[in-house]
């Protein structure tokens, strides 16, 4: 006789608290399992991706509100960065950057999936168990974007906005892509010798290698990033061909 399935629990964190209600109501809760360490959860890939996307949406919403109040956009950005972290999905990694919130240059947490494919997450958020009735929305494996729909949209955008499609697909594949030249790198760090620049240049994915003069992403690079992302790329824009 097989053991009964594990009971699914719902967790949320303090950044999703709604005003009023004594701090008990949350805008979003997530199906996950408690981790061995208090304040941490174990979430599926789909749920982890939604956690990152929801926090990005919260930042965008908060920044838009701050921009309406402030005279200058940079003041709005400083205000938001003072209390909201930047939490993003970089390929397989979930990255929480708290440096501007805490003033600690080492306050960056990167989480990779466990061998079973799930994520053990802290992200500095202090996860707490909540009830479904406390949440405006509850996320699980079924509420995320369909991988097929996501891949199809990315493929279509190759013909309308090639640079954006390149970055989107490279992100799915966990490939870093940058449009950088020597001046840009030296401006952000220090002056390089010719030998140092040659070593760096060899490691960069140059923009012109992947986007042709006509503004479409090169087919060979598309093949590579689709393969790395575990997706099958349709080579013809016409499904009947």
The confidence score (pLDDT) of residue 30 equals 96
Burial tier of 135 (Cβ tally within 10 Å: 0-12, 13-18, 19+) = buried
What is the chain's pLDDT, residue by residue, as a tens digit (241 residues)?
444 444 579 999 989 998 876 778 999 999 999 998 988 999 998 899 899 989 988 888 898 889 888 888 889 899 999 999 998 888 788 889 999 999 998 999 889 889 888 999 988 888 999 999 999 999 998 887 665 556 666 666 556 665 556 656 555 555 444 445 566 556 655 677 787 777 666 555 444 455 444 445 556 665 665 565 555 555 444 444 4
- pTM exceeds 0.85, yes or no: no
Q: To which residue do tokens 């005003």 refer?
A: 19
Instruction: Give CA–CA dist 221/212, Å, rounded.
Output: 11
Q: How far apart are CA 32 and CA 139, in angstroms?
A: 9
Report the pLDDT value the prediction gives residue 165, as an integer from 0 to 100. 61
Structure tokens at 240: 């009947």
Cα-Cα-Cα-Cα torsion 130, 136, 138, 142, nearest 10 degrees, comes to 180
């Amino acid at each position: 006789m097989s053991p009964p399935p594990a009971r699914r629990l719902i967790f949320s964190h303090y950044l999703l608290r709604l005003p009023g209600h004594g701090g008990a109501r949350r805008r979003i809760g997530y199906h996950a399992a408690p981790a061995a360490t208090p304040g941490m959860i174990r979430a599926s890939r789909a749920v982890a991706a939604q956690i990152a996307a929801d926090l990005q949406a919260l930042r965008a919403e908060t920044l838009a509100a701050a921009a309406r109040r402030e005279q200058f956009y940079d003041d709005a950005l400083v205000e938001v960065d003072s209390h909201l972290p930047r939490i993003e999905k970089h390929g397989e990694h979930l990255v929480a950057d708290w440096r501007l919130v805490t003033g600690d240059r080492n306050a960056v947490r990167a989480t990779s999936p466990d061998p079973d494919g799930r994520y053990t997450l802290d992200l500095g958020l202090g996860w707490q168990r909540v009830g479904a009735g406390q949440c405006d929305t509850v996320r699980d494996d079924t509420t995320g974007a369909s991988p097929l729909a996501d891949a199809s949209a990315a493929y279509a955008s190759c013909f309308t906005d090639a640079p954006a499609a390149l970055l989107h697909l490279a992100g799915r594949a966990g490939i870093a892509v940058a449009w950088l030249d020597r001046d840009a790198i030296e401006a952000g760090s220090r002056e390089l010798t010719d030998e140092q620049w040659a070593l760096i240049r060899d490691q960069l994915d140059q923009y012109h290698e992947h986007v042709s003069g006509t503004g479409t992403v090169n087919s060979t690079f598309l093949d590579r990033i689709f393969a790395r992302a575990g997706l099958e790329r349709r080579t013809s824009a016409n499904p009947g061909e």
